[in-house]
Amino acid sequence: MAKIGFIGLGHMGGPMARNLIGAGHALMVFDLVPAALEAAVAAGAGKASTPAEAAAHGDILITMLPAGSHVRSVYLGRGGAIEAAAPGALLIDCSTIDVQTAREVGDAAAAAGRAMVDAPVSGGVAGAEAASLTFMVGGSAEAFARAEPILAAMGKAVIHAGGSGNGQAAKICNNMILGISMIAVSEAFVLAEKLGLDHQKLFDIASKASGQCWSLTSYCPVPGPVPGSPANRGYKPGFTAAMMLKDLRLSQEAAGKARAATPLGAEAAAIYGEFDAAGRGGTDFSGIIEMIREKRG
Ligand code: NAD
């Protein structure tokens, strides 16, 4: 059993914290939203009144925050989590943020004698609730070895991606594949509709042919072939288009800095940007097929 501070109890952090409590860990939690805080306290956590109090609670601090600016504000500066955490504490940021911020905050932690890993997740709210997330971890081998058993209580896979920031790099590369492939699969189904090819027939063939991919076989954007996919429930998320847009924009920011050519990633970001600007960001990201269907070639 570990003493764990946990900051950020939203859609993901709330169920993740509950799974740590269920695994027998002693949590001290903080969130700016009182309802989120009270829900975790009702599940058995101690209540911190500041991020620093949560950070000082034990040997480990976990954060699950919206974006890089929140991670900077929680960790850095006087009274921040790095300063408040005990010397030798392990800091684990599970938020999805830009690679540069992850590396800067990791460096600041190291300079203060605190180990830190970036450990963004794949698996969404359903994975957070079922403790079946995949963690992509960036940091030293020693820090990874300490983080792994804690993260394993919230997930089904914990993978070391390399040094600081590499967890975030893995996350945005993976989600760039996902965003592009969902658009590709959606375009294929819309073309099939116009050519008089049945959805199920295209699925049966492409899922056994070279078009096979996760967006097709696990998350099919038309109702029918994959009963559990959001297409069967009006594209209720799941993983929202707004979240996909955030991750695609992070990939494009990283590609720009690294001078990597990612034209399909850029196009996917533009397509999800259009969907979001039309007020559809709260739809599951597979709902992009509806916008593609509405367009005329
Ligand atoms: P969320 O907005 O539901 O939760 C974030 C929480 O952080 C909120 O409760 C908010 O009040 C809290 N917060 C913000 N600033 C704070 C501060 N300074 N101190 C304390 N608490 C603060 O977001 P979420 O859906 O839980 O996502 C969290 C992270 O996980 C994001 O980086 C997101 O990209 C990533 N992610 C989300 C999903 C998903 O399906 N929701 C999937 C994979 C990864």
Domain definitions of the chain by residue range: 3-164, 169-294
Tell which CATH classification among 3.40.50.1000, 3.30.360.10, 3.40.50.1370, 3.40.50.720 matches the domain 3-164.
3.40.50.720
Closest residue by Cα to atom 3, ligand 1, is: 10
124 has a pLDDT exceeding 90: no
67 alpha carbon – ligand 1 mean position (Å): 8
Contact partners, residue 99, CB within 8 Å, separation at least 6: 165, 168, 169, 172, 250, 254
Residues marked as catalytic: 171
Measured from the CB, is residue 172 less than 6 Å from ligand 1? Answer: no
**Which tens digits make up the pLDDT trace of 29-60?**
999 999 999 999 999 999 999 999 999 998 99
- DSSP label at 49? S
- Alpha helices for the chain (secondary structure H): 13-22, 34-42, 51-55, 68-75, 81-84, 99-111, 124-129, 141-152, 166-195, 199-206, 214-217, 241-258, 263-275, 288-294
Give the domain 169-294 fold. N-(1-d-carboxylethyl)-l-norvaline Dehydrogenase; domain 2 (1.10.1040)
Question: How far away, in angstroms, is 149 Cα from ligand 1 center?
Answer: 22
Tell me the per-residue pLDDT of 136-171, one tens digit each, with 9 for 90 and over: 999 999 999 999 999 999 999 999 999 999 999 999
CA 13 to ligand 1: nearest atom: 26
DSSP assigned state of 45: P
Could you identify the atom of ligand 1 that is nearest to the CA of residue 120?
A: 44
Residues contacting 282, CB < 8 A, separation 6+: 237, 240, 241, 242
What pLDDT, on a 0 to 100 scale, did the predictor assign at position 35? 97
- What pLDDT was estimated at residue 68? 96
104 lines ligand 1 (CB under 6 A): no
Average pLDDT over residues 189-205: 98
- Whether residue 32 has its Cβ less than 6 Å from ligand 1: yes
**Does the beta carbon of 250 sit less than 6 angstroms from any atom of ligand 1?**
no
CA of 10 to the centre of ligand 1 (A): 5
Residue 13 Cα, ligand 1 centroid: separation in angstroms?
Answer: 7
